[in-house]
Structure 1
Amino acid sequence: MGEFDFLVGSWNVLNRRLTERLVGSDDWVEFTAPATCWRLFEGMANVDEIVFPDGVRGLTLRLFNPATQEWSLNWASSDTGTLFPPVVGRFDDGRGVFHGEDTEGDTPVRVRFVWSEITERSARWEQAFSADGGATWELNWTMAFTRA
């Protein structure tokens, strides 16, 4: 059984996202979106798709590397058709923390994904950016998953 097997199936996802990132904004937008996840490679991979209210679809490919014992999480959006740089990490005591490098506009950022509060019927995901190498973090997106 893979560590992301909890995510397999259909979900209702309550999204809470900052309207502007890295500008000190406290203006959040909330919306719901359905998501579905499929297990692959006997639990060493999975794919999920989320359908946002504006019709844009997001896809995450998660792959487990047995040599490093780490997961890579790879996000793509239907509006660009490209993969974003992956975040890489692992689970410890039921909490998964994953880091990577990306840009927000022209600003290089360190990215952190956290999976937590995982049960059979719910889970929480969050994304934060750091523009100072990880000294400070701005939480900019959360998703509360509830089993459909």
Structure 2
Amino acid sequence: MDNSTGFGFFTGTYDVVNRWRKDFLDPAEGDDHWEEFPGLSRASAHFDGRASFDEIDFPTKGFAGLTLRLYDPAADAWSLYWANRRTGVLYPPVTGRFGPDGTGRFHGDDEYAGRKVKVRFVWSGITATSAHWEQAFSVDDGRTWITNWHMHMTRRED
């Protein structure tokens, strides 16, 4: 996958099945620690594929978010910025790139519930009609990770 157009696949309207931990830092397993809910994402590419934007609505949660992704050719890396309607705050970016297998790995620093966390996004399973995104947090400087959010995206027919 060409890193400079790495998010070129992510255009159009997607139905999203979200699954997140009820407590993003609780490592316990089992269905009672997870919640599933729908989303609808509208994504577009800009700057000849070197920028990507999507807005996602979570109708049963009563909020929406957006992601701006920008490619830096000097660093051969993407920066991904998230904001949501509840806070109106642009969160610190995660940065990274797509590997030869087409999987994108992105890392950054943030804060969750008053604690400093390392953040990891992984984009995988990318096809012409679907993709998977997951988020994980680390509170021990990246030695261990708690995956806390999955999005399974399926492109809607035009």
**Secondary structure of 2:24 counterpart:** coil
For 2:24 and 2:94, the matched residues in 1 are separated by 19
Given candidates 63, 88, 99, the residue that maps to 1:92 is 99
Kindly, what percent of the aligned residue pairs are identical?
49
Kindly indicate whether residue 48 of structure 2 is the aligned counterpart of residue 45 of structure 1.
no
Asked which structure has the greater RCO (Cα within 8 Å, sep 6+), the reply is 2
Deviation of the 1:25 alpha carbon = 3.9
- Indicate if the aligned counterparts of 1:19 and 1:25 stay in contact, CA closer than 8 A: no
Q: Secondary structure at the match of 1:42?
A: helix
Query: Given the alignment of the two structures, is residue 7 of structure 1 paired with residue 10 of structure 2, yes or no?
Result: yes
Matched AA of 1:99: H
Shift of 1:81: 0.7
Q: Which residue of 2 aligns with 1:126?
A: 134
Contact 1:18 1:25 in 2 (8 A): no
Aligned 8 A contact 1:9 1:37 in 2: yes
Distance 1:41 1:25 in 2: 42
Question: Quick one: which amino acid aligns to residue 85 of structure 2?
Answer: S
Structure 1 moving runs of 4+ over 6 Å: none
Partner of 1:19: 22
The normalised TM-score by structure 1 is 0.97
CA RMSD of superposed structures (Å): 1.0
Q: SS at the partner of 2:5? A: coil
Structure 1 residue 106: Cα displacement? 1.5
Q: Which residue of 1 aligns with 2:86?
A: 79
Shift of 1:46: 1.1
2:20 is the counterpart of 1:31: no
Tell me how far 1:147 sits from its aligned partner. 0.8
Q: 2: CA distance between counterparts of 1:4 and 1:21?
A: 26
Indicate the residue corresponding to 2:124 in structure 1.
116
Deviation of 1:52 after TM superposition, in Å, equals: 0.5
Deviations 1:23-50 (A, max 9, x none): 3343100011110101111100011000
5+ residue gaps, structure 1, are: none
